[in-house]
């Protein structure tokens, strides 16, 4: 974008997910002359009703980051949510700061969400403020690089993009070849977990005085929001996040690949890293995380399937999702390929359901603001798609309930990957599955009131009839999909009574929602 070094006095706006000391906006500033503005505002805390733990994490991390900047010599204007003069919006706080400080221009790294980016640019335009938005280079691929990669391709597929990112970063590369001879070791990564396996313990950070003050604020101001606030154990500083990274490498990484898709009752984290909230807020740099994980492979600590699988999630999926988001905004979050209109059922907020897998995923979401990928995709996401729930409402739920949720990464995962609401722009077929998949990958079915083996009737696992009902309801849109040919042939071979019984049971499940 433009040269940022010529003005003597700048106001540098740092957002709640830009808590990186070397972010481009701070690199372009001067601690001697410029002022950093960090502001807790009602608009950001309320554009969806975020989980209490998410708000507490973001606010506490913002406050700790401000202290670190002051210690590093910056002048910081920190606005708390309960400041009586707080205007409630980021543009309002920039305007107020410009009145109180000698700055004559504003710098900000590009916001991760389209909503905020356009709001700030529109406001600057209307108010005549000199606002410069810098490319956020905490990502591996710039918008332009992704656009160039996507241009002219009939179909976008993560795997090919990922190989480009491997080449660009040199991660797990042996010269021009992928380490071990293969790009992707996913076929080794499909083991269901067993209760007897050793489980790593999640690192818990005790709240300090700053976090305690934030927790009280959240209790007072967001008591009606979804989720348990306490115990609050997220790290809220870069040092704490680095400790969490070390703990992950030490305790979980070697098994990450094997059990990536597993689900186990009472084990919300399994061998996952639980680092996304730190990476997305800026406390950890994605490449530094990947380099640390790569080192574990070369040190002989973790096997290639785990390390490659982990690195792929970050330089592959995470970057790919961001590219898809910016390629398709505005409008992506309103896509609704299947025309689904059912409102999001209340059970997504209460967790009250006899479906043991859903109760587990939603219950831990309420308690921890966390569920791992397969729970998000194959349990809550799968159910929402099969039940024909309005994808925009599904999107708003995911954006609210997870500590790592920002629209640039959440929306492609929800609208594209999990709901297929973009009609296959992101993925080649819907992630629709019957109870059989959940039974294979988890121990939930053993303790469920429903019977996963029953296909129809009152005792049948609801995923079973819903699966077929979804495919038939959307036959005009899906039958032509080559990856679903075999599935439709199975349906065609069923006798009429069985078909009718599937659809009747599905209707009863849907009516009961």
- Please select the residue that binds ligand FAD; options are 115, 117, 221, 373, rule is CB under 6 A: 373
CB under 5 to 8 A by kind: which of ligand SF4, ligand DLZ, ligand FAD, none does 275 bind?
ligand FAD
Q: In this structure, are residues 32 and 126 in contact, taking their beta carbons and an 8 Å threshold?
A: no
- The burial of 195, by beta-carbon neighbours within 10 Å (0-12 exposed, 13-18 middle, 19 or more buried), is given as exposed
For the CB of residue 265, give the shortest distance to ligand SF4 in the complex, in Å.
Answer: 9
- Please select the residue that binds ligand DLZ; options are 29, 112, 286, 465, rule is CB under 6 A: 112
Give all strands (DSSP E) within 210-305, no chain letters.
none
- The burial of 163, by beta-carbon neighbours within 10 Å (0-12 exposed, 13-18 middle, 19 or more buried), is given as middle
CB under 5 to 8 A by kind: which of ligand DLZ, ligand FAD, ligand SF4, none does 410 bind?
ligand FAD
Considering only residues 405 to 434 of the shown chain, the ones binding ligand DLZ according to CB under 6 A are 406
Tokens of 132: 């410069």
Considering only residues 31 to 50 of the shown chain, the ones binding ligand DLZ according to CB under 6 A are 39-41, 44-45, 50
Instruction: CB nearer to ligand DLZ: give 90 or 289.
Output: 90
Q: Cα(129)–Cα(240) distance, rounded to whole angstroms?
A: 37
Is position 165 an interface residue for ligand DLZ (rule: CB under 6 A)?
Answer: no
Is position 357 an interface residue for ligand SF4 (rule: CB under 6 A)?
Answer: yes
Is position 61 an interface residue for ligand DLZ (rule: CB under 6 A)?
Answer: no
* Nearest one of 115, 150, 120 to 14, comparing CA atoms: 120
Alpha helices in 329-381 (DSSP H): 347-350, 356-368, 373-374
CB under 5 to 8 A by kind: which of ligand SF4, ligand FAD, ligand DLZ, none does 312 bind?
none
- Please select the residue that binds ligand FAD; options are 275, 356, 400, 438, rule is CB under 6 A: 275
Is position 52 an interface residue for ligand DLZ (rule: CB under 6 A)?
Answer: no
Is position 17 an interface residue for ligand DLZ (rule: CB under 6 A)?
Answer: yes
Is position 396 an interface residue for ligand DLZ (rule: CB under 6 A)?
Answer: no
- Residue that the structure tokens 């990957």 belong to: 417
Considering only residues 411 to 430 of the shown chain, the ones binding ligand FAD according to CB under 6 A are 413-414, 417-418
Task: Give the C-alpha distances (Å, rounded to integers) separating 317 from 9, 303, 323, 348.
Answer: 39, 20, 10, 26
- Please select the residue that binds ligand FAD; options are 179, 404, 422, 469, rule is CB under 6 A: 404
Task: Give the C-alpha distances (Å, rounded to integers) separating 184 from 139, 305, 319, 352.
Answer: 21, 8, 17, 39
CB under 5 to 8 A by kind: which of ligand FAD, ligand DLZ, ligand SF4, none does 402 bind?
ligand FAD
- Please select the residue that binds ligand DLZ; options are 10, 11, 12, 15, rule is CB under 6 A: 15
Q: In this structure, are residues 164 and 139 in contact, taking their beta carbons and an 8 Å threshold?
A: no
Is position 314 an interface residue for ligand DLZ (rule: CB under 6 A)?
Answer: no
Sheet bearing 35-39, strands edge to edge: 75-79, 35-39, 10-13, 105-109, 131-134
330 upstream amide cis, omega within 30 of 0: yes
* Nearest one of 13, 24, 46 to 123, comparing CA atoms: 13
CB under 5 to 8 A by kind: which of ligand SF4, ligand DLZ, ligand FAD, none does 237 bind?
none
* Nearest one of 128, 69, 136, 60 to 77, comparing CA atoms: 69
Phi and psi at residue 5, in whole multiples of 5°? -100, 0
CB under 5 to 8 A by kind: which of ligand SF4, ligand FAD, ligand DLZ, none does 44 bind?
ligand DLZ
Is position 317 an interface residue for ligand FAD (rule: CB under 6 A)?
Answer: yes
Instruction: CB nearer to ligand SF4: give 321 or 460.
Output: 460
Site size toward ligand DLZ (CB under 6 A) is 17
Is position 93 an interface residue for ligand DLZ (rule: CB under 6 A)?
Answer: no
CB under 5 to 8 A by kind: which of ligand FAD, ligand DLZ, ligand SF4, none does 50 bind?
ligand DLZ
* Nearest one of 63, 447, 402, 412 to 226, comparing CA atoms: 402
Can you give the three-state secondary structure of 140-208, one letter per residue? CCCHHHHHHHHCCCCCCCHHHHHHHHHHHHCCCEECCEEHHHCCCCHHHCCCCCCCCCCCCCCCCCCCC
Chain positions contacting ligand SF4, by CB under 6 A: 355-357, 435, 438-439, 444-445, 448, 450, 452, 461-463
Chain positions contacting ligand FAD, by CB under 6 A: 272-276, 279-280, 310, 313-314, 317-318, 321, 372-373, 376-377, 381, 398, 402, 404-405, 409-410, 413-414, 417-418
């Amino acid at each position: 974008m433009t040269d940022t070094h010529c003005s003597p006095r700048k106001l540098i706006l740092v957002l709640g997910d830009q808590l990186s000391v070397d972010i481009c906006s701070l690199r372009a500033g001067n601690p001697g002359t410029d002022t950093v503005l960090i502001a807790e505002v009602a608009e950001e805390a309320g554009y969806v009703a975020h989980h209490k733990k998410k708000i507490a994490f973001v606010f506490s991390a913002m406050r700790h980051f401000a202290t670190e900047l002051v210690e590093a010599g910056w002048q910081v204007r920190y606005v708390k949510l309960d400041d009586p003069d707080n205007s409630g919006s980021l543009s309002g706080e920039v305007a107020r700061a410009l009145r109180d400080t000698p700055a004559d221009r504003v710098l900000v790294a590009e916001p991760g969400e389209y909503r905020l980016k356009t709001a700030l640019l529109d406001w600057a335009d209307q108010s005549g403020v000199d606002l410069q938005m810098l490319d956020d280079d905490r990502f591996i691929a710039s918008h332009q690089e992704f656009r160039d990669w996507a241009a002219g391709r009939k179909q976008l597929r993560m795997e090919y993009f990922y190989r480009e990112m491997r080449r660009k970063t040199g991660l797990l590369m042996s010269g021009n070849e992928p380490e071990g001879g293969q790009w992707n070791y996913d076929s080794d990564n499909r083991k269901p977990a067993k209760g007897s396996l050793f489980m790593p313990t999640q690192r818990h950070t005790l709240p300090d005085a700053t976090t305690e003050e934030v927790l009280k604020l959240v209790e007072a101001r967001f008591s009606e929001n979804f989720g348990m606030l306490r115990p609050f154990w997220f790290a809220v500083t870069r040092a704490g996040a680095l400790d969490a990274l070390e703990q992950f490498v030490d305790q979980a990484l070697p098994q990450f690949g094997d059990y990536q898709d597993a689900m186990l009752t009472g084990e919300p984290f399994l061998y996952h890293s639980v680092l996304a909230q730190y990476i997305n807020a800026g406390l950890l740099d994605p490449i530094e995380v990947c380099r640390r994980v790569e080192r574990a492979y070369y040190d002989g600590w973790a096997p290639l399937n785990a390390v490659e699988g982990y690195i792929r999630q970050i330089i592959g999926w995470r970057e790919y999702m961001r590219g898809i988001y910016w390629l398709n905004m505005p409008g992506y979050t309103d896509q609704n390929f299947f025309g689904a209109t059912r409102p999001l059922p209340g059970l997504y907020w209460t967790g009250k359901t006899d479906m043991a897998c859903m109760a587990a995923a939603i219950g831990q979401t309420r308690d921890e603001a966390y569920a791992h990928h397969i729970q998000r995709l194959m349990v809550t996401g799968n159910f929402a798609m099969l039940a024909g729930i309005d994808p925009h409402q599904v999107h708003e739920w995911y954006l609210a309930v997870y500590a790592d949720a920002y629209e640039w990464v959440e929306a492609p995962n929800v609208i594209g990957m999990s709901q297929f609401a973009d009609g296959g722009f992101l993925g080649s077929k819907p992630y629709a599955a019957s109870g059989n998949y959940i039974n294979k990958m988890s121990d939930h079915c053993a303790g469920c009131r429903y019977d996963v083996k029953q296909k129809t009737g009152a005792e049948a696992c609801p995923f079973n009839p819903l699966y077929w009902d979804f495919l038939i309801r959307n036959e005009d849109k899906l039958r032509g999909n080559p990856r679903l040919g075999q599935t439709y042939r199975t349906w065609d071979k069923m006798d009429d009574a069985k078909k009718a019984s599937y659809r009747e049971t599905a209707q009863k499940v849907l009516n009961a929602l």
